[in-house]
Each structure stands twice: as structure tokens, then as C-alpha cells.
Amino acid sequence: QNEEKWDFVLVSDIHEMGSEKEIKRKKFLDELSKKGFTIKKIEDTKLFYGVRAPQHIFWKYQRLLRQQNSSAYQDVPVTTRIRIVHFILQNTVTSDLEKLHDLMKKKVFEAAFPLHKKEEIREILKEKWARWGVIFKKQPIEEIRCYFGEKVALYFAWLGWYTYLLVFAAVAGLATIAAGTTVFSSSQVSKEICSANNTIMCPLCDRNCSFWVLSNTCTYAKVTHMIDNEATVAFAIFMAVWATVFLELWKRQRATVVTNWDLYGWDEEEDELVLQLINNSQHQPQLYQHSYFRSTIVLILVLLMIVVLIGIAHALVIYRVVAMALFMQSEVSLLSKHANIMAVMTGAVLHYITIIVMTKALLLFLEKPRTSSQRENNFTVKIFIFQFLTNFSSLIYIAFFLGRINGHPGNYVRIAGHWRLEECHPSGCITDLFIQMAVIMLLKQTISNIMEYLIPLISHQLRKKNKHPKKRSMMLGEEEEAEDLCKRQWLNNYELNEVNIFSLFNEYLEMVIQYSFTTIFVAAFPLAPLLALFNNIIEIHMDAIKMMRLRRRMVPRKAKDIGIWLQVLEAIGILAVIGNGLVIAITSDFIPVQVYKYMYSPCKRENHTGIDCSTGYINNSLSIFRVQDFEPHTKVLLKFNGEQIKEYRDYRNADDYTYTVQFWHIFAARLAFLILFEHVALCVKLIAAWYIPDVPQKVKNQILEKKHSNLCNEL
């Protein structure tokens, strides 16, 4: 029965006898035979080589890791067995100094993979995890670990924990929207905009644009107030605390899980050295080295890539400016009437396409990580920085620069001296940020997920279809019949989609970028946690179906935490405090309204008790512009002919268009709020991190008792 248990399968094309590829293949298989490997060959449309390692290899592994009480074969988990065999296969060197990686590049071998086998644990995972019917049930983490290894199990444990805590963030986001909805029509600011029928505003473009009435933005003003109100500040602070509590509780959860797996004190470096010595008893450790020259080259390349990403962000800005001008001049009334919204939405779609393209380009451009954990960490940090800039460059521009560097009527800042920089949406800058985030998140969670599932599914079906007509030639004679069971299993596994080195990495990256969207600019889009929650519920089981039914078996890897991703998540938590503080201080109208209430409103000037202190805010926030001061090439449609004074949103003097004293009051208030908000939020984060221990007392006591017991036994 043991004869049919194969650890790995190597697949090769059928090469001519005596050809270079055939000789290289034979040399590699001979090296495996010298190490005691059993090899079984099956010929079909391809050559299949089943590989089984000798038992003494696993005995060595256990002895070197001081697991003396285990027997050599029975007690080695299947995941450990596959991991050891994979390491030896990848590090076996032929007489030509070539490894399996080199041979696969030269098409000597086409594929190498462990097998999905018909075993009890696989059926349990299919029943309890890899189907849509169990979408709201708890994940079988222990079974995932026994089949895919600790690294995959920890990923799904982390994702499940993140999804569970998103429920609280989603409820808080809905409560913020609900708070804004209750004052949807009763807000004094919205009322003033809706009743401003005589407030004539400056045109939004240079040509074919008319003056417009402020009350035209009534509906948008009401929607804006749903996300830009006092509750938003409380929600932003809540999300800063939530991000900290989530990570602290995850650290406790991880400590409990890895202690149950007896991995709390596991040393990855020691484990890799053990594998190296099993493969080659003469192996010398690779000493730590640092090259300042290489670091300088890497730094230069990283800076060049960042410059490229900034250039792409500038291109998106230019697109929005040009699109705005073209939509305004369009003969289609729908486009010309909603030019601003159309420019923002198409810009967001273009940004999404840029994200997809740059993701593929970055993965091809940057070096792939080797087995070294340190190199993998460096690779992760580089990829995340590039992905973060790709995803957030446009959002940063909209949040902090849009409408603030465009000048004013009569003196607009222009691109190439022709197109003037766009302004914020008439209802406020936060509307643009809300639309941009909504479009990107919805596209990422619909189109991206659909493609992520459909492409492997279609690819698998096509591979099966291409193989199907050739199966019948196998069934000729009794000898072929005897091999059918093994051959069928290997063929079925070969027909599945390939698992590459980025498979789990891509899943982490996708979730961490989503976590960034859920926390950093959440003040502008309180529905982000809710969308992330819906996405993750589907994502968990979609990933499970892909891993169990559509992809070859992933090589298990041992791990006791989620690695460098934890530090990345902690960095995002700090960025979330800064980002949300800046959004409230700079992007939203929260600070200008508060400054008006306490310094310029009727409540301040007179002793009014029954009046809303924000009364008159809209008129106060507008500046006067004389039509005769327009630039010479500005041609607007004549409307409201009798009036020579128009208005625009800013705090400038009517005579020389310099900033008013109120502008500097608001500027100082924004700065003060930003400093106060960030200090309070960071202090609360630090208190939460201190208050919640990383390791539960139960786990600490369990580890202490185990150490004491071991020492007593030694004594």
C-alpha cells in the first residue's frame, strides 16, 4: 500500500532519446536516486515521474530538531513530508550545477507539484469549507493546517478574525451615515444652499460654460452632509482605536493558535538549516552580508519607480482637467450638465485600470523572493509601497490638493498655459473623495473578484477539455489498466491550474490594500468597512474553492505568525490616524463651519438662543468676483446679464483678491485640530495597545509550565 503513496510528481515533455533535455532530465533523476528516492514513471501525452522520499530523511529531520520521541515515518505529518521533499527537489544539484528551477526554465521539466489525494481530511475541507453553502459557518482552521500547512492556516485565521471585527466597524459606519441621514433635510447648511436661488456662481470652465445658481447643487449638498458632519469625527477616532484593538486582539489569537500547534518557540532559521543539512551534510551556512552598493542600487531603482508612479498620478490629474473641459463643451446635455461628476467617475475608472496594470507590471519587474524569510520580507515591503502609491496617489491628490492649488477667477493655475486646474465639486471637496473611493472599492470587489474566480475556472475547464480526447489511448491492454488509478490521479492534478510563488502573497496583498482603504480615508467613505465585510465573506470561500478544486496543491510552509504583514498593518494604523485627521481638517467643511459658529455667526455677534449658529455660513464662505476681471481668453455663455458681480467659494477680499483674516483663522484652526486629533487618537491607540496584552495569561502560564517540566525532566 505504501508503494502508491507519492510525495511529489514531476512532469516533462517526451523528448527524443539522446537529446540534451533528455540527458539533463536523466541526470537530475539519477541524483534523486542516489539520495534514496523511489521514482515511478508513467507515460501519457507527457512523462510523469512519481517521487517518494526514503524514511531515513524524516528520521534525520526529527532527530536534528530534537523530536526523539517520534517514530520516523508514522508521526511525520503529511504537510511536513511534502515540505521536506519540496526543499530537497528544489536544492538538488546535477553534475552540470543545475537545480530544478534551472531545468524548468530550460523546459526540461514542465511542472512539479504535490498531489491532491482522496483522503478523509480533504473531504472534510470540501464539505465544511470549500463550498458556498457554508459561507456563514466557522472555518475549520485545524483541518486547513493539516492539509495546507501553518502558513496558509494562519492566513485564513487572520482573515476570519479581520472579517469578524469588521462587523463592528461596519455598524459604526452605518451609524455615521444614519446620523447624517436624520438631518438630511434639516441641516442649516443644506437649507441655505437649497434656498440660494439668487446666488450666482462663477462658471466652472473657460469656454461654453455659463454662470450657475448655487441652489442647483441642493441634492449633492444634502448627500455631502450625510458624510460630512459631527458624527464623522467620532467615527474617525473610533476607526483609529478599532485598528489598534483589531491588531492587539489578533496578536492574542495568534499566540493561542501557535501555542496549540506547539510552534510558539519554533525557529525558522534553525528549521531551514536542518533542511539544508538533510539535503547536503557538507552544507555551510550562508553568512549574513550587507552590500552598501547593492542597497544604493535598490534605493535608486525604488526612487525611479516612485517617480513613475507620481508621473502616473499627474497623468490622471491632467486627464480629469482635460475631460472636464471636453465634457463641458459636449453637445450631449447629460455630459455637459454633469461634467464634474463624469470627470470624477471616469477618472476613478481609469485609476482602477492603472492599479490593475501596475500590479501586473510590478510583479514582473521586481525580483522574486527565494526561500530566505529576510528576502521575502524585503520583497513584501517593496511591493506594498509601490501598490500603496499606485492605489492612493490619486486619492491623496483629491483629498489634499484638489481645489486648493487651482488659483481663483481671473488668475487660474493652468496646465501648459491652456487648461485650468479643476475645482472641487460645488457641494464640497469631500464629495470627490467619496465618489473616487466608492468607484474604486466597488470595481475592485466586483470585477476583480469575478475575474479572480472565473479565470481559474475557465482555465481549468479548458485544460480538462484539451486532455479529454487523448485519454482513450491510455486504455489499451491489461498493463495500462493496472496503472489507471495512479495515472488518473496524476492527470487530474496536472489538469488543475498552476500554483505560483505569489499565490498566497497576492491574497495577503489584496487584503492589506483593502484594509488600507477601510481605515486611511474612511472619514470620507464610512461605508468602506461594510463593503469590505461583504467582500471578505465571499473572498474566504472563493479562495477555499480555488485552492481545493481549481488549483494544484500548495506546498505547505511552516510559520508561527503572518510575518512582515503585521508590521505593515501597524504602519497602516498610524497612517489611518494621520489620513483621517487630514481629511477632517483639510478636505471636509467641518473646521470652517466650527470657526464660523464660534467667531462669525449671529450667535457670537448677538445673544440669540433660538437660532442655529451656522445660519449665514454659506453666504459667509463665498467671495465676490467682478466679471470684468476675467482673463482675456475666458469666454462664458451670457446669462444673468444685468449683474456684474458673481461669487465663488473661497475667503478672499473683494478689491485685490488677497486672503481675508477669516482664511487665516480657519487655517490656524485646521492646524490646531490636526495636531489635537492626531495626538488624542495616537494616545488612545497607545493606551489600547498597553491595556490589551499581546499574549494571554493562559498561554504564558502554559509555556512557563512546559519549560519547568522540561527542566525537571533534565534534572
Among the candidates 92, 115, 138, a domain finishes at 115
Residue 473 has pLDDT above 50, yes or no: no
Choice between 475 and 330, residue whose per-residue pLDDT is larger: 330
Q: Is residue 380 part of a domain?
A: no
* Residue 427: DSSP 8-state: T
pLDDT at 362: 62
pLDDT at 264: 81
Q: Is residue 377 part of a domain?
A: no
Most confident option among 118-127, 341-350, 635-644: 118-127
Q: Are residues 700 and 568 in the same domain?
A: yes
Q: Are residues 83 and 215 in the same domain?
A: no
pLDDT at 409: 84
Give the residue carrying C-alpha cell 481645489: 403
Q: Is residue 558 part of a domain?
A: yes
Query: By residue range, what is the domain housing residue 550?
Result: 149-264+394-463+508-714
d(CA 416, CA 513): 35
Q: Are residues 575 and 456 in the same domain?
A: yes
Q: Are residues 67 and 197 in the same domain?
A: no
Q: Are residues 99 and 178 in the same domain?
A: no
In angstroms, the Cα distances linking 214 to 194, 218, 257, 612 are 8, 8, 59, 21
Q: Is residue 272 part of a domain?
A: no
Nearest CA to 548 out of 111, 144, 244 is that of: 144
Give the residue carrying C-alpha cell 494571554: 696
Average pLDDT over residues 546-561: 91
Q: Are residues 70 and 191 in the same domain?
A: no
Q: Are residues 21 and 107 in the same domain?
A: yes
d(CA 529, CA 539): 15
- pLDDT range class, residue 475, cuts 50, 70, 90: very low
The lowest-confidence range among 50-64, 67-81, 291-305, 408-422 is 67-81
d(CA 581, CA 670): 10
Q: Are residues 80 and 220 in the same domain?
A: no
Share of the chain above pLDDT 90, in %: 27
Residue 374 has pLDDT above 70, yes or no: no
The lowest-confidence range among 256-260, 426-430, 594-598, 695-699 is 426-430
Choice between 339 and 67, residue whose per-residue pLDDT is larger: 339
Average pLDDT over residues 334-344: 75
- Stated length of the chain: 715
pLDDT at 222: 83
pLDDT at 365: 53
Residue 346 has pLDDT above 80, yes or no: yes
- pLDDT range class, residue 554, cuts 50, 70, 90: very high
- pLDDT range class, residue 85, cuts 50, 70, 90: very high
Q: Are residues 545 and 685 in the same domain?
A: yes
Q: What are the cell numbers at 19? A: 537529446
In tens, the pLDDT along 585-625 reads 888 888 998 999 888 888 876 666 677 888 888 888 888 88
Q: Are residues 93 and 156 in the same domain?
A: no
Choice between 362 and 249, residue whose per-residue pLDDT is larger: 249
- pLDDT range class, residue 470, cuts 50, 70, 90: very low
DSSP for 128-174, please give it.
HTSSGGGTTSPP-HHHHHHHH-HHHHHHHHHHHHHHHHHHHHHHHHH
- Classify the phi-psi angles of 262: left when phi > 0, otherwise alpha if psi is within -120 to 50, otherwise beta: left
Among the candidates 55, 90, 115, a domain finishes at 115
| β-pair partners for 48 | 11, 42
SS3 696: coil
Average pLDDT over residues 210-222: 84
SS3 47: strand
Residue 469 has pLDDT above 50, yes or no: no
Q: Is residue 232 part of a domain?
A: yes
Q: Are residues 155 and 45 in the same domain?
A: no
Q: Are residues 23 and 89 in the same domain?
A: yes
In tens, the pLDDT along 484-532 reads 577 888 988 998 988 877 778 888 999 999 999 999 989 889 999 999 9
- pLDDT range class, residue 12, cuts 50, 70, 90: very high
pLDDT at 369: 46
Q: Is residue 12 part of a domain?
A: yes
Average pLDDT over residues 398-421: 81
Q: Is residue 420 part of a domain?
A: yes
pTM equals: 0.85
Residue 647 has pLDDT above 70, yes or no: yes
Choice between 209 and 114, residue whose per-residue pLDDT is larger: 114
Query: In the chain, how many domains are there?
Result: 2
Q: Is residue 360 part of a domain?
A: no
In tens, the pLDDT along 568-582 reads 999 999 999 898 889
pLDDT at 11: 93
Nearest CA to 546 out of 465, 450, 447 is that of: 450
In tens, the pLDDT along 486-495 reads 788 898 899 8
Most confident option among 397-406, 563-572, 645-654: 563-572
Q: Radius of gyration of the chain from Cα atoms?
A: 32
